């Protein structure tokens, strides 16, 4: 079933029981365009990565992987704006 969020982005979900964020740090950093998105929740079991070229965001939390794919720049910008609110690092 295809799922979309309020920004019009496609959501793809999967589960990886024995995976940690370091899997993404290692594999995504070897691919063009992927960068970590720093949050206050970053840990071995949580992380967020952004690809501004492909307009995608991957969130990994305790085995759950969510891939967000924006259909256009406007939707991607709205997704990033939402992330700034959700993952704001408060000091």
32, part of any domain? yes
pLDDT tens-digit readout, 8-42: 999 999 999 999 999 999 999 888 899 999 999 99
Task: Round the average pLDDT of the chain to a whole number and report it.
Answer: 94
Question: Could you give the dihedral angle defined by the CA atoms of residues 91, 77, 34 and 6, in that order, rounded to the nearest 10 degrees?
Answer: 90
30, part of any domain? yes
Of 72 and 32, more confident: 72
**Total number of domains constituting the chain:** 1
10, part of any domain? yes
91, part of any domain? no
pLDDT tens-digit readout, 35-45: 999 999 999 99
* Model pTM score: 0.92
Residue 57, CB-side half-sphere exposure with 13 Å CA sphere: 24
Residue 91 has pLDDT above 60, yes or no: no
Domain that holds residue 36: 3-86
Q: What is the mean pLDDT of residues 59-81?
A: 97
34, part of any domain? yes
pLDDT at 31: 84
Alpha helices in 5-48 (DSSP H): 21-28
pLDDT band with cut points at 50, 70 and 90 for residue 71: very high
Whether 9 contacts 70, CB under 8 Å? yes
Rounded distance, CA 24 to CA 20, Å?
8
């Amino acid at each position: 079933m295809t799922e979309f969020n309020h920004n019009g982005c496609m959501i793809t979900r999967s589960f990886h029981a024995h995976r940690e964020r370091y899997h993404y740090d290692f594999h995504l950093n070897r691919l063009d365009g992927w960068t970590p998105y720093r949050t206050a929740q970053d840990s071995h079991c949580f992380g967020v990565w952004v690809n501004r070229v492909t307009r995608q965001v991957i969130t990994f939390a305790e085995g759950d992987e969510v891939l967000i794919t924006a259909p256009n720049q406007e939707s991607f910008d709205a997704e990033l704006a939402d992330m700034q609110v959700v993952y704001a690092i408060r000091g």
